[in-house]
Chains A and B, each alone.
Chain A
Amino acid sequence: MRKLRNDFPILKRKIHGKSLVYLDNAATTQKPRQVIDAVSRYYAQTNANIHRGIHTLAEEATEAYEGARKKIADFIGAKDPAEIIFVRNATEGINLVARSFVAPRLLFERSRELLLTEMEHHSNLVPWHVLQSKVESPKSKVLLKFIPVKKNGTLDYSKLDTLITKKTALVSVTHASNVLGTINNIPRIVKAAHAKGVPVLVDAAQSAPHMPIDVQKLGCDFLVLSGHKMLGPTGIGVLWGRRELLEAMPPFLGGGDMIRSVRYDGFEPNDLPWKFEAGTPNIAGAIGLGAAVDYLQKISMQNIRAHEMVLTKYALKNMQKISGLTIYGPQDSKKQTGVISFNLHGIHAHDLASICDREGVAIRSGHHCAEPLVRKFGQNAMARVSFYLYNTKKEIDIFIDALKKAKEIFK
């Protein structure tokens, strides 16, 4: 593990004179030398625009970009690289599905509902609010429904069959909560949805970086992820969709690269996946994400999940010993990712984060872009730690000591 840490230059940084303890991985992850080098090598040696030009650099750049697509297809078990659409992030992937898949369906009277969970990140809530405001008229309402979250931070699956109706246009759910850490039972949700002919989108932004993902086993119809949460660069993400669904969808953004031919009076869309990639894409980002996937697969997602389970169990055990500390979520390393949200009685999460920062410990505080969920638990703000493959038990000890120091300051 010490050897792996050497791959991450930023982990050698000092913060306020202390060694950096980076526990904000659910927000974004640090980048290994391999990813930084892949991006820098592309700009230094093969930079050219893709899919056009027949010179050597253009061919090399295209090969690297399309090679990254193949790596990601393999990483999530996609049948065909053409099902991998490069987008900016998970958020953009969801917006693409909202505009190009769901919006046309909502025109039909028989599909006027969307089913989410109460634990969605704003990225899987606000796109649906926006869509709702676009297609709603006084006569026809689009209804957002939610699978409830129980007190222990897990979903109430008993409501599933009544919540999914023949009117449901899409079930869009997170695989793992960015606040509670809860890992949701996607196959169960898919089974209930497909029984009524309803497609399912899975937001894997918080799961794909931390556990093996296989879209065939999950059974879903769409899946989105963000590169920067899995060692990759910012500004690159992925939408995966079943080929037949993507084929039938109209384009999302218009522009270059997404067209087969253009006339003054119209255009012919390109084939998959380019139909959905308008304009020059984030080539360096895709190559960087490909390098990140190589790095993760070399370690293996099983090993990463096992390491994070050990850290989560250790952190939960030590946090539970601190009096006045409330943890929100399942508190079971088997049922959750390495995300733990908490509050320390009488101390605001922002103050906790400031005190941890003075000790070199980066934690998150606030509503974690899941404001309704934080409010549901009766809180204005929560503090959160989230682990990744480079974190250690020793770092958790430093974090626990910082919490004790906060208690001392605010006694």
Chain B
Amino acid sequence: MSDSLYREQILEHWRTPQNFGKLVHPTHEAFENNPLCGDEIGIHLNVNNHVVGDIRFYGVGCAISMAATSMLTEIILGKKIEELKKIKKEDVFNLLGVMPSPSRVKCALLGLSTFKKALQIFEQTE
């Protein structure tokens, strides 16, 4: 396949997203949407002793936003909040293995901004 944005790894996450769904009793949750394209992502977290013990994401969106969020949840799971606060947008591009074009950057980062919002809610409730 010639199109680097749609690498097999990204398509794999789009076909079978990891940690997709909702938690029955999340300790923290956040929801974000991109009104420009209609993409919507929600994230549910179970945080115990400052560690993300469980994570789910749900919503609708393009392959890039879905795959990026799916990949992100894999690295979030089991990590400490202190560590997770350091996640940057560059880390998402590294996960995707490709730098999206300027118009697609927002798609790639929707999951991260939703997670950051959930982290903020965690901080506020601490």
A interface list, Cβ under 8 A from B: 347-351, 354-355, 357-358, 365-367, 371, 374, 379-381, 409-410
Is B23 engaged at the interface, CB distance under 8 Å to the other chain? no
Q: Separation in Å of the B68 CB from the closest CB of chain A? A: 13
B62 touches A351 (CB 8 A): yes
Q: How far is the CA of A349 from the CA of B37 in the complex (A)?
A: 9
Per-residue contact bits, chain B 30-60, to A (CB 8 Å; 1 contact, 0 not): 0000011111100000000000000000001
Given contacts A354-B5, A409-B6, contact A366 B36 (CB under 8 A): yes
Q: How far is the CA of A366 from the CA of B39 in the complex (A)?
A: 10
Q: Quick one: which of A349, A379, A380 contacts B40, CB cutoff 8 A?
A: A380
B35 touches A371 (CB 8 A): yes
Chain B residues, CB < 8 A from A350: 37, 39, 62, 64, 104, 107
Given contacts A351-B62, A351-B63, contact A380 B37 (CB under 8 A): yes
Chain A residues, CB < 8 A from B104: 350, 354
Q: Separation in Å of the B37 CB from the closest CB of chain A? A: 5
A366 touches B63 (CB 8 A): no
Chain A residues, CB < 8 A from B1: 409
Q: Separation in Å of the B98 CB from the closest CB of chain A? A: 11
Q: How far is the CA of A365 from the CA of B101 in the complex (A)?
A: 15
Is B3 engaged at the interface, CB distance under 8 Å to the other chain? yes
B36 nearest CB neighbor, chain A only: A366
Q: Quick one: which of A347, A381, A409, A410 contacts B37, CB cutoff 8 A?
A: A381
Chain B residues, CB < 8 A from A348: 39, 61-63
Given contacts A350-B62, A350-B104, contact A380 B2 (CB under 8 A): no
Per-residue contact bits, chain B 5-32, to A (CB 8 Å; 1 contact, 0 not): 1100001001000000000000000000
Q: Separation in Å of the B84 CB from the closest CB of chain A? A: 27
Chain B residues, CB < 8 A from A367: 36-38
Chain A residues, CB < 8 A from B40: 380
Q: How far is the CA of A409 from the CA of B15 in the complex (A)?
A: 11
Total number of B residues with any Cβ neighbor in A under 8 Å: 21
Q: Quick one: which of A365, A379, A381, A410 contacts B63, CB cutoff 8 A?
A: A410
B8 nearest CB neighbor, chain A only: A409
Chain B residues, CB < 8 A from A371: 35
B38 touches A410 (CB 8 A): no
Chain A residues, CB < 8 A from B6: 351, 354-355, 409-410
Q: How far is the CA of A367 from the CA of B14 in the complex (A)?
A: 22
Chain B residues, CB < 8 A from A357: 101
Q: Quick one: which of B39, B63, B101 contacts A380, CB cutoff 8 A?
A: B39
Q: How far is the CA of A293 from the CA of B27 in the complex (A)?
A: 62
Chain B residues, CB < 8 A from A410: 6, 11, 14, 63
CB interface residues, B 96-126, toward A, < 8 Å: 101, 104, 107
Which has the most chain A C-beta neighbours within 10 Å: B37, B38, B63?
Answer: B38
Q: How far is the CA of A366 from the CA of B36 in the complex (A)?
A: 6
A409 touches B3 (CB 8 A): yes
Which has the most chain B C-beta neighbours within 10 Å: A354, A366, A409?
Answer: A354
Q: Separation in Å of the A20 CB from the closest CB of chain B? A: 16
Q: How far is the CA of A366 from the CA of B104 in the complex (A)?
A: 12
Q: How far is the CA of A263 from the CA of B121 in the complex (A)?
A: 58
B1 nearest CB neighbor, chain A only: A409
Q: Separation in Å of the B113 CB from the closest CB of chain A? A: 17
Q: Quick one: which of A351, A358, A379 contacts B64, CB cutoff 8 A?
A: A351
Chain B residues, CB < 8 A from A351: 6, 62-64
B106 nearest CB neighbor, chain A only: A350
